[in-house]
Amino acid sequence: MKDRNEIKKAQRIVVKVGTSTLNHTAGRLNIHRIECLVRQIADLANQDKDILLVTSGAVGAGLSRMKIKKRPDNIPDKQALAAIGQGILMHIYEKLFGEYGQTVAQVLLTKENSVRYSQYINSRNALLALLQMHVIPIINENDVVAIDQLKIGDNDTLSATVASIVDADALVLLTDIDGLYTANPQKVPDAQLIDKISEITPEIEDIAGSAGTTLGTGGMFTKIQAAKIAVNSGVTMVIANGSRENVLPDIFAGKSVGTIFPAREAHLKQRKRWIAFGKRIAGSIVVDHGCEDALIKHGSSILAAGITTFEGDFPAGSTVRVLSTDSQEIARGIINYDTESLKKIIGHNTRDFASLLAGKVYDEVIHRDNMVLMV
């Protein structure tokens, strides 16, 4: 299969390891599995590949050390356990990678590091500098200080964002299931593993559902959202079972392991990736069929006359989703107007703006240079 053969050429790889892979069902760290994965990652690095590891498990490690069985619901307790667990987890990684001659570095990120373009570029430069030094960055969200407004939310999204930031060739999400099935295999015994997903449709999102594990924060749904970021950033993504023997060597040998999401051929420019996947989404606008057609076929800007409605309360300069009339996301872009102004001009021609608005007037609601197609 072409896509499986192509992944053999991957030079820069992001590997994300989920809590369910790192921990026993009782909540304590699965040291044997961590050591197996470290050995596989170290061997990839020995092949002169750039490897970045996004790891869950800080809260789980804190739970284990404090002998607490259930993940807490409140943020202060989660942050406290993450503070305890991050040091434990990093110590284990440093010791194990050191045994295989690899140097590692801890990198803690929050959404703020990607929302501001200057911080997005700083994060990119720091990660690339580590790779240039042949160091393996070990990345996690900074749960200790992040609040809901600054949280990326889950490590699936974090790993896809990191893959986008560093121009990775491949992203592997290791979890406790073999990949995406046609239905939930825990409920439907004859559900079939899907080998390849070329397009993420609403039907694929419906199959993914939303359930996660008791120790983790995400489920298959977050992995599909991560796939959207990855493939649109030119990154091939694979979902596979982290407990499978030699899972990483087999994936990068081109074997049929897990579910593969082939990258789109056209890579987005750095600033366009930031618009689409770095900035926080503040709301959405819905466009009519004519505007949708102009966007997709001609790369046009969005004018007020083509907008039918919108959702959210956002200032000018926010990033919003652009939806079709049947709610499919077709683009993301930086909007020139706040919600109050948008209410006044929606459906109107540009020539009417001067009589409807005070202050600076833009011809376009979203200019084509500040927009990224998602279809």
Whether 84 contacts 42, CB under 8 Å: no
Which residues partner with 13 through β-bridges? 51, 170
Dump pLDDT digits (tens) for 330-374.
Answer: 888 889 999 999 999 999 998 888 889 887 788 999 998 888 888
Residues 373 and 375: their CA atoms lie apart, in Å, by 6
**How does DSSP classify residue 29?**
B
State the pLDDT confidence band at 10, using cuts at 50, 70 and 90. very high
Residue 157 marked ligand-binding: no
The confidence score (pLDDT) of residue 105 equals 96
The confidence score (pLDDT) of residue 323 equals 93
Residue 16 marked ligand-binding: yes
Angle between helices 58-66 and 75-99 (to 10 degrees): 100
Whether 191 contacts 220, CB under 8 Å: no
CA distances from 254 to 180, 188, 250, 370 (A): 18, 29, 7, 37
Find where tokens 């983790």 sit.
Answer: 216
Whether 242 contacts 17, CB under 8 Å: yes
Residue 217 marked ligand-binding: yes
Question: What mean pLDDT is reported for the chain?
Answer: 85
Whether 170 contacts 13, CB under 8 Å: yes
Residue 155 marked ligand-binding: yes
Whether 103 contacts 137, CB under 8 Å: no
Residue 154 marked ligand-binding: no
Which residues partner with 174 through β-bridges? 17, 240
Following CA atoms 13, 15, 16, 21 in sequence, which dihedral angle do they give, to the nearest 10 degrees?
A: 160
Domains and CATH numbers, the chain: 2-271 (3.40.1160.10), 280-373 (2.30.130.10)
Residues 273 and 171: their CA atoms lie apart, in Å, by 16
Residue 133 marked ligand-binding: no
Dump pLDDT digits (tens) for 102-142.
Answer: 999 999 887 555 556 667 778 888 999 999 999 999 998 76
Burial of 148 from C-beta contacts in 10 A (0-12 / 13-18 / 19+): exposed
pLDDT higher at 160 or 201: 160
For 167, half-sphere exposure in the C-beta direction (CA atoms, 13 angstrom radius) is 13
Whether 335 contacts 292, CB under 8 Å: no
Query: In one letter, which amino acid is 316?
Result: A
Residue 222 marked ligand-binding: yes
What are the backbone dihedrals phi and psi of residue 333, each rounded to the nearest 5 degrees, phi first? -165, 170
The confidence score (pLDDT) of residue 133 equals 96
Res. 214: pLDDT tops 80: no
Whether 104 contacts 138, CB under 8 Å: yes
pLDDT higher at 127 or 148: 127
Cβ-based neighbours of 67, under 8 Å, separated by 6 or more = none
Res. 63: pLDDT tops 80: yes
Q: Which pTM does this prediction carry? A: 0.76
Residues 136 and 45: their CA atoms lie apart, in Å, by 8
Structure tokens at 348: 């109107």
- Sign of the torsion formed by the C-alpha atoms of 261, 267, 268 and 271: positive
Residue 184 marked ligand-binding: no
Q: If we measure between CA atoms, which residue out of 41, 6, 49, 44 comes closest to residue 263?
A: 6
Residue 143 marked ligand-binding: yes
Which residues partner with 23 through β-bridges? 29
Residue 220 marked ligand-binding: yes
